[in-house]
Chains A and B, each alone.
Chain A
Amino acid sequence: MKLRTGIVIAVLVVVLAVVLAACSQAAPQVIEKTVVVTQVVEKEVEKEVVATPTPEAKPYEGVEVNIVTFTGPQIAEPLQRRAPDFEAMTGAKINIITVPFSDLYTKILTDAATGTNSFDAWVFAPQWMVDYILPGYMEDLTDRVANDPQIEWDDIAPFFRDFSASYNGKIYTIPLDGDFHMGYYRSDLIDSPPKTWDEYLEIAKKFQGQDLNGDGDPDFGSCVSMKRGAQAYWFIHTIAAPYIQSKGTSQGVFFNTKDMEPLVNNAAFSKALDIYNEMKDYGPPDSLNLDVGDTRALFTSGRCALSIDWGDIGTLAIDPDTSVVADKTGAMIAPGSTEVLNWDTGELVPCSEGDNCPYAVDGVNHAPYAAFGGWSGGVNAAADPKVKDAAYAFFSYMSAPAQSNEDVTIGITGFNPYRQSQFLNRELWVKAGMSPDFASNYLGAIEDSLNSPNMVLDLRIPQNQKYQQVILDTAVSQFMAGEISKEDAMKQIYDGWQELTDELGRDDQLAAYKGTLGQK
C-alpha cells in the first residue's frame, strides 16, 4: 500500500512539474512568434511602399477598432455599411458591436471602469458623456478636430458643436446625428397642424378609429412611443416643456436653479401627465409596448394621423419600399401651450397675462426639446494610440459632409440633419426623394426648433441616466399602466430625484446643472 501511495505522489509531482515547466516556457514562445509576425508585416509594408509611390495610403493597416452602439437597425446600419469603404481606404477594420439601448450606458461604463476595455470607441447619447469624462474614460478630441480639415467642424450647427460635442470647453464627441423632438401630421387629412397640445389631442380624438390608409381597418389618431426601458422616457418632457419653460433656454425644465428642487410636483407636470395619458386613448391598443421604431412604422404605413418623434419620420416617410405616406406627411415644431408655470406658486398662468411668455408666437409658448442630443462618437482613452487615431478617423469620415449629407437623407440610418449645409442645400433632399414643399416643411420645422430662443436642453448632470432612464421612466410607465395615480407618480419622481441629488451632493449637482444651462 505504501508503495502504491508513493507511486501516486511521485506521479503527481512529476505531472505538476511538467505542467509548471510548460507554463513557464509558454510565454517566451508566444513572444518569439509575435516578433516574427511583426517583422513579416513590416517587410510587407516596405515592399508595398517601394512598389506604389503613395505612402499615405492605408495608414491604419492591421488596426482593428471595436465600436459599440445600440441594436439598430438605425445608427448601426450606416456604421456597418460604411465600415468596408473606410477599411479599403485606410486599412482599419471596424467592428460594430450592438447591445440593447437599455444596456448601452451600463455596458460602456462597466467596460471602461473595470479596465476590460473591449470597446475602443462608442456611439452613444452625448448627454451621458459627463459620467464617462469625469473618471477619465474619454479621450479629449479637441486637438484632433483642430487639425482635421476633412470634418469641416464649423459646418456643424453651433448647438451640436458646443452643447452635444463639448464639455468644459473641450471636444469629446463627434456628432453623427442631430436630435429634436418634433411633430408629424398627415397633410392629406389635416389642413392646419396643431399649435398646442390641446389642439393635438382634439385632432387625435377626431381621427381615432377611422380608416386612414384605406385598408378597411380602424386606425389611430396619435402614435407616440410609451414603452418602458426603451427610448420613450423623453416624451413626457416634450409635452411638459412648454408648460414649464418660457423665459428662454437658460431657464431649464428639470430643476429649480435656486435649490435643485425637481420641477415635477406642480401643475405643469401634472398637465403633461394628463396629456400623455390621454394620448394613449387615441393611439394603438398596445401603445404601452411600442418603441419609437414601432410608432414610426405605424405612421409610415398610414395608420396614424399624428405622431411625435425625432427627425426620423421625415426621411422614413419618403422611403418608397416601406412608406405609403410619401406625399402625405407634414412636419411641425412640437406643439406648445397657452399657459405656463409660475415657478413660485407651482400653478399655471395664462401666456396672455403680463410678460409670462416673452418668446410666445401668436400667444403660444413653444419649447422644442433637444431630447437625446443626437448620436455621437466618443473614443476610449485607454485604447491603443493607433486604435484611437483610427477610431477618430472613422468618426471624422462618417461625419464629413461627403458621407453625412447623404446619410441624413436615408430613413434607415436614424441620422437626422445637424450640419448647416444640410439645412441650406435643399437640393440634397429633393434628390433623396422629398418633394420641394416637404423638404422646406421638414427642414423648416427642425430649423424652427434649433433657432428657438426657448429651446430646451437635455439633462446633462452626473448620473442623468439614473434620473431619467430609471426613476422618471419607471414612475411614468407605472402611471401610464394605471398602476399608480398621477399624484403618486409625481411624488415618486420627486422623492427619487431628491434622494439621488442628496446622495450625489446637492451643491455639486446644482453647480453642474447651472453650468449646462449657462448660469453662474
Chain B
Amino acid sequence: MEPTRQETATSTSATNKPKPTRKRPFSGKEGMASSVFIWPALLVVLLLSIFPLLVSLYLSFSRFKFVKGGFEVKWIGLLNYKKLLFGSEKTHFLGKMEQPTTLGWIIFIGITVLLIVTLIHYYRSDRRSTGGLIFRAIVYAILIAFAWLLVITTFSQGGRPGTMVVTWIYVFVGIVIQYAVALLLAVILTQQLPGRRFFRVIFLLPMMITPVGVAYLFRMLTDTGKGPFAPLWQAAGLGMYSWVNDPWGARIAIIIGDAWQWIPFMFIVLLAALEGQSMEQREAALVDGANRWQIFWNITMPQIIPVTITVVLIRMIEAFKIVDLPNVLTNGGPGTATESLTLHAYFSWRALDLGGSAAIAYSLLIVVTFFGIAYINILRRRFVEE
C-alpha cells in the first residue's frame, strides 16, 4: 500500500526530523493472513486462465490422437505452424496467392508510401527516440508484409483470401462502417430533435440481442427465396441470384450483420463523448462565424478523439474474435469464403485436430496483440497523450 497523501506531506515538510522508516503494510502474521485470503483468488485465476493458456500452447506443438483406452499427445515441434504457413493448410489459412492486379499494386504502393512518410515524419519530429524509431520500423515492416498478403490474395487475378485475411476484412472494413454510422447517428441525436430519447433506446436494441440471435435474424433477412425481402428481390429481377452463393456477397452479409449489432455500442459511447464536450469553444467559434462543418471538424472531432481511439481499440479486439455470425449465417461458406480465424480454429477442433486448432488460436493471439500494441503505441500516444 502506498503512503497516503497526508503522510507524504508530513514527511516532506519535516525535513529536519529523522526520515521515518517506510512501514510495510503487512508483516509477520498479518502478512500471512493476507496471503491466506489472496491465494485462493490467485489460484483460481491461475487455474482458469494461465493454465489453459499454457496447455493450449503445448497442444499447438503437439498432435492429439485417440488411442485404445484413452488419448495420446505427441510432441511434433513446429509442424502445426508449418502446416498453416507453408503446408496443406496454407491456402485455407493465408489464402491463394497470385500476382496483384493494377488496383492491388496501387493499394500496396499507397499503404507502403503512407507508412514510410509516417516514419519519416516521426524521425523529423521532436518526440523521436531511438527505441521509438526501431519499434516503428519493425511495426511498419510487418504492416507492409500484411498489406502484401492482403493484396496478393484479395486484389489479385485468381487469388483468394484465407481465414486470416477474411478476419482482417471483417475487422477493418467493419469498424470503419460501424464508426461512420455510429458517429452520424450520435451527431443527429445531439440535435434538439423531437423523439430523440425514444430513438436513443431503439438504437441500442441490437446490442442487447445475443449474437446467435442476430445471426439467425440475418439468415432469415438474407434469404432471397423465402425471406421478407424476397418479393422486392423478385421485383428487382434478382430472383435467380442469391448473395450467399457468392463469396463476396456472403462476406458483405456478415459485415452488415456485425455492423448492425455493434453500431449501438459505438453510438452510445460517441453520444456520451459528444454530449460531454465543452460548449465554450463551440460558442466562441459560432461568434467568430464558423460554419457547422468547421465546428464539427476543428472543435468537436479533436475533443472526441480520445474516446474514438479507445472505442475503436475495444471493437478491434472484439471483432478479431468474430465467430457466431459466420457460423450460423453461412456455416463458413460458400466454401470457406466467410470463415474467420476463430471459426477456422473451431472447425479444426471439431475435426479433432486439437494441435492445429491451438496453432490457429495462438496465431490469432499474436496478430491481435500485434495490432493492439501497434495501435496503442503509435496512434494513441500521438493523438491522446500529446
Contacts and interface: CB of A to CB of B under 8 A. Distances in A.
Interface of A: 1-2, 5-6, 8-9, 12, 102-103, 106, 109-110, 113, 131, 134-136, 209, 217-218, 227-230, 280, 284-289, 465-466, 469-470, 474, 477-485, 488, 492, 495-496, 499
Interface of A is mostly: helix
Given A284-B242, A482-B335, 16 more contacts: A5-B30, A103-B350, A106-B351, A136-B69, A229-B331, A229-B333, A287-B245, A289-B331, A465-B351, A477-B335, A481-B336, A482-B334, A483-B247, A483-B334, A485-B158, A499-B88
Nearest to B240: A285
Nearest to B67: A135
A209 B240 contact: yes
A495 B335 contact: no
Contacts of A1: 30
B29 interface: yes
Given A8-B33, A135-B67, A135-B68, A481 B335 contact: yes
B285 to A, nearest CB: 52
A106 B247 CA distance: 28
Given A136-B69, A285-B225, A288-B244, A481 B334 contact: yes
A495 B88 contact: yes
A229 B347 CA distance: 9
B239 A218 contact: yes
Interface of B: 28-30, 32-33, 36, 66-71, 88, 91-92, 96, 158, 160, 223-225, 234, 239-242, 244-245, 247, 330-337, 347, 350-352
Nearest to B331: A229
Contacts of A209: 240
A325 to B, nearest CB: 18
B92 A474 contact: yes
20 contacts: A8-B33, A102-B350, A106-B352, A134-B68, A209-B240, A227-B331, A228-B334, A228-B336, A229-B347, A284-B225, A285-B245, A286-B223, A286-B244, A289-B330, A478-B336, A481-B245, A482-B335, A483-B96, A483-B335, A499-B88
A18 B337 CA distance: 59
A289 B160 CA distance: 20
B240 A218 contact: yes
A463 to B, nearest CB: 9
Contact of A288 (B66, B245, B351): B245
A134 B68 CA distance: 7
Contact of B337 (A134, A217, A285, A483): A483
Given A286-B223, A484-B160, A228 B29 contact: no
Given A285-B224, A287-B245, A288-B244, A9 B29 contact: yes
Nearest to B71: A113
Contacts of A466: 351-352
A498 to B, nearest CB: 9
Given A228-B332, A477-B333, A483 B225 contact: no
A479 B92 CA distance: 13
A288 B330 CA distance: 9
Contacts of A227: 331, 333
Given A106-B352, A209-B240, A478-B336, A228 B30 contact: no
Tell me which of B69, B225, B335 has the highest count of chain A C-beta atoms within 10 A of its own C-beta.
B335
A284 B247 CA distance: 16
A135 B66 contact: yes
Nearest to B230: A217
A9 B35 CA distance: 11
Given A5-B30, A470-B351, A496-B88, A481 B70 contact: no
Contacts of B225: 284-286
Tell me which of A5, A227, A229, A286 has the highest count of chain B C-beta atoms within 10 A of its own C-beta.
A286
B29 A5 contact: yes
B325 to A, nearest CB: 14
Contacts of B242: 284-286, 289
A302 to B, nearest CB: 14
Contacts of A131: 66
A209 B245 CA distance: 17
A386 B30 CA distance: 58
Nearest to A136: B68
Given A285-B245, A288-B244, A474-B92, A481 B333 contact: yes
B304 to A, nearest CB: 41
A136 B32 CA distance: 51
A109 B352 CA distance: 9
A263 to B, nearest CB: 19
A77 B193 CA distance: 55
A74 to B, nearest CB: 19
A314 B337 CA distance: 34
Tell me which of A1, A135, A470, A483 has the highest count of chain B C-beta atoms within 10 A of its own C-beta.
A483
Nearest to A284: B225
A219 B66 CA distance: 48
Given A285-B245, A286-B242, A492-B91, A477 B33 contact: no
A17 B37 CA distance: 16
Contacts of A478: 335-336
Nearest to A229: B331
A287 to B, nearest CB: 7
A492 B247 CA distance: 19
Contact of A217 (B158, B239, B245): B239
A368 to B, nearest CB: 28
A135 B69 contact: yes
A135 B352 CA distance: 15
Given A217-B234, A229-B331, A478-B335, A12 B36 contact: yes
B33 A5 contact: yes
